[in-house]
Amino acid sequence: MISANDPKLTSWVNVPDHSDFPIQNLPFGIFKTPQMDARVGVAIGEHVLDLKALHVLGYLENLPFTLDDLSSNTLNPIIHRGKVATRELRNRVSKLLSSDIPDLRDKEHHVKQALLPMGDCEMLLPVEIGDYTDFYSSIEHATNVGKMFRDPANALLPNWKHIPVGYHGRSSSIVVSGTPIHRPKGQMLPADADAPVFGPCKLLDFELEMAFITYPGKPMGDSIGTSEAENYIFGMVLFNDWSARDIQKWEYVPLGPFLGKNFASSVSAWVVTLDALEPYKVAGPAQDPPVLSYLEYDGNRNYDINLEVGIQPEGNDETVICRSNFKYMYWNMSQQLAHHTVNGCNIRGGDMMASGTISGKDETSYGSMLELSWKGTKPLKLSNGEERKFINDNDEVIMRGHATNGDIRIGFGEVRSKLLPTR
């Protein structure tokens, strides 16, 4: 077992009940303050531990990280050091924050320098994303889409249970939680029209997803097997795959989604390591028909992570409209990564691979407005009495996630984004 996951650990830093960031979590992020340049931090309770400051103060000695690595405005330099190194770093931070360990705890002037109230910190995009891939790995989501747009009796396409279907997306427009986005314009084909029109998207949607971030992979031409795949995964974030349904519908045959997706995707700021999630592994759904041998795997590879989505209209309270769970995924991350590299495609440190919309069986667990409102035929009621079929201008969409064993909660914080009107 990874020592930093010990459920008996407590921290001398105050961690409120139900905090996403107990000492068993210790997610990494990039933050800055009005006084300080961007740097690497770790979340603990309602504080951020400044790893650059820790390095300067000598607390990270005998670890394979330079001051430059920890003064970076992305996590890529620490990711490039590899899994053994980042695990050691998390273990060191765990020790330094443990109630029992006086080294940092009792040095008041060092604590003052290295521990900052989270409210004083601005979080930045945690990684410079090389390539971004989006999968389509929820059978409930793929089935819902198939029922709506194709044949309800044959909702899944023939390849779906054989391939963790995925496609390449746009990395330049992935932004961190808190960054407002603009309603996109584009071409749409109105019902019964012969020719498309141009204008603001009318059917703007979110997709509830999670994404993993990779360590550097193998040389081009080599593959990563399912048995080793988790060694190539640094951590995870919440991922809102904004989708313009009307633009997407007109453009996506035959080469897939493009402008219907690439105007923006939003991610949470704290990268929860796969190590911290290790205690929350569960079995995935049975896969029938059996998969090809390169997609077979041993052990539990799904993760029990509770997810929710809220909509908050401007000046109103939030209404939670979806509760789902990452454990529902038909294809797990090990299978996704094995498939992605089976043709020799190389991955780099900081690549991001998203799950696809995470829907459950229950109607309230569907991970998009498309499914929740069933193509707009069943509007959702918000707590202020308004209805929503899709997302309105000035709505905020909020996604949250956490794993828990009842006592400890390994949380992701949130990804919160406001939709501004078209520019």
222 or 317, CB closer to a second copy?
A: 222
104 or 165, CB closer to a second copy?
A: 165
Given a contact cutoff of 8 angstroms between Cβ atoms, the answer to whether 102 and 235 are in contact is: no
What CA–CA distance (Å, rounded) separates 261 from 347? 22
What CA–CA distance (Å, rounded) separates 220 from 215? 15
Exposed e or buried b for every residue in 100-134, given b needs 16+ CB within 10 A? Answer: eeeebbeeeebeeebbbebeebebbbbbbbbbbbb
Q: Which of 111, 148, 155, 157 binds a second copy (CB under 8 A)?
A: 157
Q: Which of 110, 340, 388, 402 binds a second copy (CB under 8 A)?
A: 340
Residue 141 is among the residues annotated as catalytic for this protein:
yes
Contacts of 57 (CB under 8 A, 6+ apart): 110, 113, 114
* Residue tagged active-site, from 141, 339, 340, 402: 141
What would the x/- binding string for a second copy be over residues 166 to 195, using CB under 8 A? xxxxxxxx-x-----xx-xxxx-x-----x
Name which of 263, 224, 240 is nearest 347 in CA terms: 224
Extract the tokens encoding 15: 């961690």
What would the x/- binding string for a second copy be over residues 255 to 294, using CB under 8 A? xxxxx--xxx------------------------x--xxx
Q: Which residue is listed with tokens 């779906």?
A: 160
153 or 253, CB closer to a second copy?
A: 253
Name which of 326, 411, 420, 404 is nearest 367 in CA terms: 326
Q: Which residue is listed with tokens 């830093």?
A: 13
Amino acid at 234: F
Query: Does 347 interact with a second copy (rule: CB under 8 A)?
Result: yes
Q: How far is the CB of 151 from a second copy (least distance, A)?
A: 13
Q: How far is the CB of 160 from a second copy (least distance, A)?
A: 9
Extract the tokens encoding 255: 């080469």
182 or 323, CB closer to a second copy?
A: 182
Binding residues among 72-131 for a second copy as defined by CB under 8 A: 130-131
Query: Does 344 interact with a second copy (rule: CB under 8 A)?
Result: yes
Given a contact cutoff of 8 angstroms between Cβ atoms, the answer to whether 239 and 354 are in contact is: yes
Stretch that binds a second copy, among 58-66, 68-76, 224-232, 338-346 (CB under 8 A): 338-346
Query: Does 342 interact with a second copy (rule: CB under 8 A)?
Result: yes
3-class state of residue 232 by DSSP? helix
Amino acid at 4: A
Query: Does 247 interact with a second copy (rule: CB under 8 A)?
Result: yes
Q: Which of 7, 16, 102, 221 binds a second copy (CB under 8 A)?
A: 221
Task: Output DSSP code: residue 222.
Answer: -
Q: Which of 254, 315, 385, 406 binds a second copy (CB under 8 A)?
A: 254
CB count within 10 Å of CB 211 equals 26
Q: How far is the CB of 282 from a second copy (least distance, A)?
A: 27
The answer to whether the bond into 289 is cis (omega within 30° of 0) is yes
3-class state of residue 368 by DSSP? strand
The answer to whether the bond into 190 is cis (omega within 30° of 0) is no
Q: How far is the CB of 209 from a second copy (least distance, A)?
A: 14
Q: Which of 55, 141, 281, 339 binds a second copy (CB under 8 A)?
A: 339
Query: Does 165 interact with a second copy (rule: CB under 8 A)?
Result: yes
22 or 184, CB closer to a second copy?
A: 184
Catalytic residues: 141
Give the residues lining the site for a second copy (CB under 8 A).
130-131, 136, 157-159, 162-163, 165-173, 175, 181-182, 184-187, 189, 195-198, 201, 220-223, 244, 247, 250-259, 262-264, 289, 292-294, 339-340, 342-348, 351, 423
